[in-house]
Amino acid sequence: MKFSVFIGIDVSKSTLDIYLKSFASHKVFPNNIEGFIQMIEWIMEKAGKICHSELVFGFEHTGLYSENLILFLDQNGFSFTVIPGLELKRSLGIRRGKSDKADARAISEYIYEKREKLHLFKLPSQTLEKLKKLSSLRERMVSQRASYKARLGEYVEQFPDGGFEVYLQSQQEVINCLDVQIEKIEKEIEVLIKEDPNLLRQYRLINSIKGIGPQTAIMMIILTKGFSAFENWRKFASYAGIAPFPNQSGTSNGRTKTNKLANKRIKSLLTMCAGTAVQYNPEMKLYYETRIKKGKNSMSTLNIIRNKLLSRIFAVIDRDSPYVEIHKYAA
């Protein structure tokens, strides 16, 4: 699609800084529905007689602050791209000083430079959005519960004879409350998945792989937007930070390693899955032990297993059939 007007938006809690690259124009609007309408009217006034399909918007995802803007642009058929913060930061290089106007201008220049390779944003289904929010809430609560349990355990260890019962009781009550809320969220997640035949099918297919647990299956569905956001498992491996890259310069050959730029949550989940697979999957256990006996590094071996599991996840989705452990039938 050919775009002629490139619009950079710096999103904050209450305002939107808009910069039109084609006209070197800047203006600030409220971050609400009235502001969105005013923004479109101003753009059309500046651009003159132009089809709205020739416009392309770009902005960084800022969580709750950008959600209404995403909904407005999607519902009104505008083309837009949501740029990962780290990608945008690295593209800007070294900068001195900061302003919302400068950020909006930088975004407009970024989408202009990337105009031939822009990945336009597609709003996921309402079910996926709800699933994402519930999963995020569950993670926060699980983290808080772990923190309370750790503090309680430290206190009991330091004062085995007890004392200060109010401290112990209040901590335990908070843990119990979090247990109830986490269970409630998990049941709601289960209901959401069961209500959507496609998500339920994907969830069951992923869980057919030994070593992959329910939370990893849910996170995979969320991050891949129902396996529509990534072309193949290798692209996702790079996103998850488990794809090995060569480390070479001239005659110097360093150790092949993964990149630190990663989605740390899914990377952590895949690491736990690899550890589980080594324990309970005979095929993976044999593979791991064989490599270790040959003197191979344990972490690099676990990373290979992470990639194997990831490739199997994408494979069962592509084939639309559960994973079959072929080694069971080997002579």
CA distance 156 to 150: 10
Q: What is the pLDDT of residue 318?
A: 94
152-181 burial, b at 16+ Cβ within 10 Å, e below that, comes to beebeeeeeeeeeeeeeeebeeebeebeee
- Predicted confidence at residue 95, as pLDDT, reads 59
Contact criterion met (CB below 8 Å) for 115 and 107: no
Q: What is the pTM of this model?
A: 0.76
Residue 331's pLDDT is: 45
Determine the pLDDT at residue 253.
55
pLDDT of residue 308: 95
Please give the pLDDT value at position 327.
61
Using 50 as the pLDDT threshold, list the residues of the chain that sit under it. Answer: 330-331
CA distances from 208 to 3, 201, 309 (A): 44, 11, 11
